[in-house]
């Protein structure tokens, strides 16, 4: 699905900001995996991310969309995130530079 830049930005803000990182550049998905704003749609990037609906229907509404690291996804049928990569607890492999 193709999203407008306005929706992409709104979904980005649905990611979790972390106090010691610039929220315009770095956030975490529901799995706790780091994502980088400029890596939207880059499935091969370590911090690449994509957009997933979290409830059936309303696929174009930012309220129903969340950012996920490209290795993670959300299963609407079960209502659960499927986490292949996470940075929590802190210190695991998926972490931003700095």
| Residue 67 backbone phi and psi in degrees, to 5 | -85, 135
Q: Which pLDDT belongs to residue 1?
A: 75
pLDDT at residue 8 in the model: 97
pLDDT tens string 30-86: 999 999 999 999 999 999 999 999 998 777 788 999 999 999 999 999 999 999 998
Q: Quick one: CA dihedral 39, 2, 71, 89, positive or negative?
A: positive
CA distance 26 to 12: 9
Predicted local distance difference test score (pLDDT) of residue 89:
62
Q: Where are the domains of the chain?
A: 5-82
**pLDDT at 91 > cutoff 50:** no
The pLDDT of residue 80 is 95
- Residue 94 and residue 86 in contact, taking contact as beta carbons nearer than 8 Å: yes
Question: What pLDDT is recorded for position 94?
Answer: 65
């Amino acid at each position: 699905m193709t999203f407008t830049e306005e929706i992409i930005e709104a979904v980005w803000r649905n990611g979790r900001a972390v106090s010691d990182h610039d929220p315009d550049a770095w956030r975490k998905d529901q799995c706790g995996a780091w994502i980088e704003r400029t890596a939207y749609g880059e499935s091969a990037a370590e911090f690449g991310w994509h957009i997933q609906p979290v409830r059936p229907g309303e696929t174009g509404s930012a309220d129903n969309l969340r950012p996920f690291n490209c290795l993670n996804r959300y299963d609407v049928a079960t209502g659960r995130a499927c986490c292949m990569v996470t940075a929590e607890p802190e210190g695991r492999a998926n972490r931003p530079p700095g």
